[in-house]
Structure 1
Amino acid sequence: MLPGAMSEAVAKKSPEQDGEGSSRRSSWGLLVTAGVGGTLVALYAVVTPFVTPALRKVCLPFVPATATQVQNVLKMLENRSGPLVDIGSGDGRIVIAAAKKGFKAVGYELNPWLVWYSRYRAWRDGVHQNTKFYISDLWKVSFSHYTNVVVFGVPQMMPQLEKKLEEELECNARIIACRFPFPCWIPDHTTGEGIDTVWAYDLKHYRRCETKNLEITPERES
């Protein structure tokens, strides 16, 4: 074959080879895109249940309690007895820690994934007989039979929750607020600092002050 003919043959093959290479690169690009997309979808499916709002009336994402917060809550429960409830119990660490201290502890959480995970953790830690976890909206539950209440809330929900607990709880109840205090009540005890701060409110003290303020002064004789 003449040199000119060879060059012409090579020239004719080049576009086909370029087309094949481009097709291969396109296929690899599609595979990589599909792989990344699939990973993101799987990650979203796993993570979303743990970060979606736990309560419907306010946006309350799941933020795990720190080890210091748990210890501060337990400190506020010293010398206390009776049933305990954690409102918005998340992954169950407060309920489980309280159960290990001898409390009959219950957690209410709207997120079913977190409730199932909490039950598994309680079983793993050997306290499942002293713990219960319910999938429920806190605004639809009465807490009247609990004497110890733990709350991890946000500022938007605290005024309404304060009113709800005041109406439902008995005078011997203690309410422990984490991260954010109640707007009107004056705490009887405070411990920790920053995000680990915990406030404890003894309802009997607040109601005693309220009763005293509502006393009627006898009228003087004219």
Structure 2
Amino acid sequence: MCDLGLELEKGAAQEESSSRSIKKRVGLIATCALGGSLVALYAGAGPFVAPALRKICLPFVPATNTQVKNVLSVLQSRSGTLVDIGSGDGRIVIAAAREGFRSVGIELNPWLVWYSRYKAWRQGVHRHTSFYISDLWKVSFSQYSNVVIFGVPQMMEQLEAKLQAELESPARVVACRFPFPTWTPDHVTGEGIDTVWVYDAKTFKSHTTTAKLLNSSEDKNHL
């Protein structure tokens, strides 16, 4: 009986040890699987959330459906070419193409550009859209009649000066999320993060010309 009891205790101990070993292996496998999933998720999402414009850190934040709707509403009476500066996943460009614009997206992140091209193809507007991997500060916007920008405050002053110098008078600029620092908007639509500010080039160019004439007149009077 003693021998039998010892054997039973020994068997129970071995079974418990084996159970602990199995649980340990299962836990290790689960941990590795979770870690691998997180790495895969980061690798997949990383290119999409990386800064799209190197001069100013501008991470990819998709436009909301309301923002897209507001942009299209202020461009209803417009036609011609449209450029989305920092076009992200291409949703503004694709939506504008559906409304009859010849639409272009400027984006520094190649992953987003390739994804946008794929989306445009899937949605049947690839013949009316173009997406370029480019730094906005190295591109001229003089050929566009409509400009859309989802910017951040740190870049708006520099971009304002660039567009001021390059755009022709018939052009229209639509700023989303943040307004330009010195321009007075011709129209404002939406509220909160969905607000869009509309600037007609003929307005901000005429204000600049008037300011230059006044400054020139003051300088002459001082002389």
Match of 1:7 in 2: 5
**Whole-angstrom distance in 1 between the partners of 2:186 and 2:197:** 8
The answer for unaligned runs of 5 or more in structure 2 is: none
Query: What amino acid does structure 1 have at the position aligned with 2:114?
Result: W
Number of aligned residues = 218
TM-score, L = length of structure 2: 0.90
Secondary structure at 1:214 match in 2: helix
**Whole-angstrom distance in 1 between the partners of 2:62 and 2:145:** 24
**Whole-angstrom distance in 2 between the partners of 1:97 and 1:53:** 23
TM-score, L = length of structure 1: 0.90
Secondary structure at 1:59 match in 2: coil
Q: Is 1:18 aligned to residue 16 of structure 2?
A: yes
Give 1:64's match in structure 2, choosing from 62, 70, 74.
Answer: 62
> Is the Cα–Cα contact under 8 Å of residues 164 and 204 in structure 2 kept in the other structure?
no
The answer for unaligned runs of 5 or more in structure 1 is: none
Q: Is 1:82 aligned to residue 83 of structure 2?
A: no
Aligned pairs (5 A) from 1:106-121: 106-121=104-119
**Whole-angstrom distance in 2 between the partners of 1:211 and 1:50:** 41
> Is the Cα–Cα contact under 8 Å of residues 81 and 145 in structure 2 kept in the other structure?
yes
Query: What amino acid does structure 2 have at the position aligned with 1:78?
Result: Q
Q: What is the CA-CA distance between 1:175 and the residue it aligns to?
A: 0.8
Query: What amino acid does structure 1 have at the position aligned with 2:77?
Result: N
**Whole-angstrom distance in 2 between the partners of 1:30 and 1:6:** 36
Counting aligned pairs with the same residue, the percent is 62
Greater shift in the superposed pair: 168-177 or 6-15: 6-15
Give 1:52's match in structure 2, choosing from 38, 50, 55.
Answer: 50
**Whole-angstrom distance in 1 between the partners of 2:78 and 2:23:** 68
Query: What amino acid does structure 1 have at the position aligned with 2:142?
Result: S
Greater shift in the superposed pair: 124-133 or 7-16: 7-16
Distance change (3 Å), C-alpha of 1:160 and 1:4: same
Match of 1:124 in 2: 122
**Whole-angstrom distance in 2 between the partners of 1:19 and 1:189:** 74
Q: What is the CA-CA distance between 1:191 and the residue it aligns to?
A: 0.9
Give 1:156's match in structure 2, choosing from 128, 138, 154.
Answer: 154
**Whole-angstrom distance in 2 between the partners of 1:31 and 1:214:** 71
Q: What is the CA-CA distance between 1:95 and the residue it aligns to?
A: 0.7
Give 2:89's match in structure 1, choosing from 85, 88, 91.
Answer: 91
| Structure with the greater alpha carbon radius of gyration | 1
Match of 1:189 in 2: 187
Q: What is the CA-CA distance between 1:15 and the residue it aligns to?
A: 4.1
Q: What is the CA-CA distance between 1:13 and the residue it aligns to?
A: 4.1
Which is helix-richer, 1 or 2? 2
Query: What amino acid does structure 2 have at the position aligned with 1:172?
Result: P
Query: What amino acid does structure 1 have at the position aligned with 2:75?
Result: L
Match of 1:73 in 2: 71
For 1:166-199, what per-residue CA distance to the aligned partner results, in whole angstroms no more than 9, with x for missing partners? 1222222211100110011111111111111111
Secondary structure at 1:182 match in 2: coil
Q: What is the CA-CA distance between 1:137 and the residue it aligns to?
A: 1.7
Query: What amino acid does structure 2 have at the position aligned with 1:16?
Result: Q
**Whole-angstrom distance in 1 between the partners of 2:140 and 2:3:** 93
**Whole-angstrom distance in 1 between the partners of 2:183 and 2:3:** 97
Q: What is the CA-CA distance between 1:157 and the residue it aligns to?
A: 1.2
Q: What is the CA-CA distance between 1:58 and the residue it aligns to?
A: 2.3
**Whole-angstrom distance in 2 between the partners of 1:156 and 1:42:** 32
